[in-house]
Structure 1
Amino acid sequence: MGQRRRPGRNVSGILLLDKPRGVTSNEALQRVKRFFKAAKAGHTGSLDPLATGLLPVCLGGATKFSTFLLDADKHYRVRVRLGITTTTADAEGEVVAQLPADGVGEQDLQAVLARFRGPIEQLPPMYSAVKHQGERLYKLARRGIEVERTPRSVNIHRIELGSFEPPEFEIDVHCSKGTYVRTLAADLGEALGCGGHVTDLRRTGVGPYLESGVRFVALDEVERLALTEDRDTLDALLLPLESALHHWPSVGLSEDAAFYLRQGQAVLVPRAPTQGLVRLYDPSQKFIGVGCILDDGKVQPKRLL
């Protein structure tokens, strides 16, 4: 009989990983899982290999709550090159069209950006992980196959011009989940009449985690601490899993209420919010999970530790 594989450590929390360029999200995830020797790990929304920036990695019990970060708003800093259209809408694709962009001024760009604020429709790119009849679109695209896609509704909460150095410009984008930033860049280029593609992309925020307010951790730093076996310092990089939900109201439970919630029953909690999702804490102020407020005012367990 082969040797049984030893289970990983029961370590739990969220690592705000600063994904380096040229590494896939899954490769970054697997390396973090190996460095922490974690039994369980998952990330909260892929970044293209070209992209850098925030890739929250959930370890242990935090994986139960990763869906809430998947559904959260995202923030990006994007550099776009006008005048060149590529197959992938980024610098890694093949050039399919070139048009002069020297006639585009800052006023033209500002006027077009204004048209993309708020709810918009996006056509998922062929180079994406969307499935068509069970197969990823990017796999079809690599074989030269293009299929019909259905436009999706997304929301561009904020899109602001940073630097403008023709033929390139930089924008800061705050958008809803499911937004294709490469498609946004290509659509901006098309609206300007010259085409465009992404040359640099950095995710600067996911949900409550913004680069301006928290520290992103480099993959090299995680590896260095793992190699020196400085386990305490390594684990100190992890944020508590409820930090992903800190913008939600908290509800303190009595012992009885906590008991019945753990049995899957809805309970009435005095002075609880009247609607929405809430963080749940037992009488010792220990986080036990997430609940939602029902129409009758009771708290219904949604995801518990």
Structure 2
Amino acid sequence: MKTINTTHQMKAKESPTNGILIIDKKTGMTSMDVLRRVKQATGQKKRVGHGGTLDPLAEGVLPICFGQATRLMELLVSQTKEYTMTIRLGVTTDTYDSEGVASEETEYSHLSRETIEKTLEKFRGTFPQTPPMYSALKREGKRLYQLAREGIEVEREPRLVDVHDINIVGFALPFLTIQTECGRGLYMRSLAHDFGQELGCGAHVSYLKRTRTGLLSIDGAMSLEEFEKEVHAGNWRNFLRSIDSLLLSFKSTIASERTAQLLRNGQAVSLPIQGQRIGHLDTYRIYTDGGQFLGLIRYDKPVDRWVPFKIFNLRERSPHFDQ
């Protein structure tokens, strides 16, 4: 008699897993360590990725994307982020954080809070920043941190970075705690190092926590251990955010079934969006009239048409349909 694998049949009948999980990463783990454990726990091996690397020292918001949500990972990486960082003045390290080897110690006690705050203002706005040697950037196919471990230092091109807001929230020398809101590509370790150089006493990161990525806040995050317990209980999918939860900053509209099908087929459409001033390449969320999130569309002003930007094939009614 042929044995029927009921477990396999149950898995085959499960609807595809699409959504975003917010993990509160703990210090000591790499982002890939977290991703591997999530994959191992859930059995989801394909179309799973994280939305923005955190250093092993850092903790906080690490978005994990499942299924069709992986198509938004690049968007996640580019979104505004918030960090809380503690800086140790007076000591410079080779990695720019407390896990590195101290390379220089300098007196800091003469620095007043006024001087420190005035210097910090230089790191508000748009400015060039040189990435650290201990980073995952590549030079001729090799990671910079690999070269650094071999004692090799190479020239790095400065990049323009954006700091939207930066403030001191804790002052107990030699430690400063700073809250930062920044754009893509900023290295917090380099920010601490460069700030120390500007003060003339050196500095490094002793604590770093990402508290927000885009609309994903630490308040909605769960630890990896909590998540693994929910996997064991069979409830883990209940903790996934819908794909459009990342996109609530965009305005929304509704498509008829015919318009939805045209967009799925990659065709441009006309939409009766009224009472709004719409510019070229303005982006909207769009839903079917049944409440499913269809995707993102962009306005092509020269031809007065809306073109598909990111289109999804989702069955579930979105909890954000009316927002």
TM over 0.5: yes
1:73 is aligned, of 80, 99, 102, to 80
- Once structures 1 and 2 are overlaid, which stretch shifts more, 180-189 or 267-276? 267-276
Question: Which residue in 2 is equivalent to 1:148?
Answer: 155
Question: Which residue in 1 is equivalent to 2:320?
Answer: none
- Residue 260 of structure 1 aligns with an amino acid whose one-letter code is L
- Say whether the 8 Å CA contact 1:29–1:43 is kept in structure 2: yes
Structure (1 or 2) with the larger CA radius of gyration: 2
Question: Which residue in 1 is equivalent to 2:173?
Answer: 166
Query: 2:111 aligned with 1:109, yes or no?
Result: no
Question: Which residue in 1 is equivalent to 2:69?
Answer: 62
- Say whether the 8 Å CA contact 1:161–1:172 is kept in structure 2: yes
Deviations 1:3-26 (A, max 9, x none): xxx899731110111001111101
Question: Which residue in 2 is equivalent to 1:251?
Answer: 253
- Residue 226 of structure 1 aligns with an amino acid whose one-letter code is V
- Residue 290 of structure 2 aligns with an amino acid whose one-letter code is S
Question: Which residue in 2 is equivalent to 1:200?
Answer: 207
Query: 2:224 aligned with 1:219, yes or no?
Result: yes
Distance in 1, Cα, partners of 2:299 & 2:23: 33
SS state at 2:301 partner: coil
- Say whether the 8 Å CA contact 1:33–1:40 is kept in structure 2: no
- Residue 18 of structure 2 aligns with an amino acid whose one-letter code is S
Query: 2:26 aligned with 1:23, yes or no?
Result: no
% of aligned pairs identical? 38
SS state at 1:42 partner: strand
Shift of 1:36: 2.3
Question: Which residue in 2 is equivalent to 1:96?
Answer: 103
Deviations 1:192-244 (A, max 9, x none): 11000000000000011233xx42111110111223xx22x311111101100
Question: Which residue in 2 is equivalent to 1:3?
Answer: none
Unmatched tracts of structure 2, length 5 or more: 1-7, 313-323
- Residue 15 of structure 1 aligns with an amino acid whose one-letter code is L
Unmatched tracts of structure 1, length 5 or more: 1-5
Shift of 1:135: 1.9
Deviations 1:22-61 (A, max 9, x none): 1110110111122222242100110001100000000111
2:289 is aligned, of 283, 289, 294, to 283
What is the root-mean-square deviation of aligned Cα atoms in Å?
1.6
SS state at 2:70 partner: helix
- Residue 160 of structure 2 aligns with an amino acid whose one-letter code is S
- Residue 244 of structure 1 aligns with an amino acid whose one-letter code is L
Shift of 1:120: 1.1
Query: 2:56 aligned with 1:49, yes or no?
Result: yes
Distance in 1, Cα, partners of 2:40 & 2:18: 14
- Say whether the 8 Å CA contact 1:76–1:202 is kept in structure 2: yes
TM (norm. structure 2) is: 0.88
Deviations 1:141-196 (A, max 9, x none): 11111111111001100001011000011000000010000000001111111000
- Once structures 1 and 2 are overlaid, which stretch shifts more, 45-54 or 142-151? 142-151
Query: 2:118 aligned with 1:133, yes or no?
Result: no
- Once structures 1 and 2 are overlaid, which stretch shifts more, 8-17 or 179-188? 8-17
Distance in 1, Cα, partners of 2:268 & 2:206: 50
2:299 is aligned, of 269, 287, 293, to 293
- Once structures 1 and 2 are overlaid, which stretch shifts more, 100-109 or 84-93? 100-109
SS state at 1:62 partner: helix
SS state at 2:55 partner: coil
- Residue 215 of structure 1 aligns with an amino acid whose one-letter code is G
- Once structures 1 and 2 are overlaid, which stretch shifts more, 82-91 or 233-242? 233-242
Question: Which residue in 2 is equivalent to 1:260?
Answer: 262
Question: Which residue in 2 is equivalent to 1:37?
Answer: 43
- Residue 35 of structure 1 aligns with an amino acid whose one-letter code is A
- The alignment of Structure 1 onto Structure 2 pairs a total of residues equal to 295
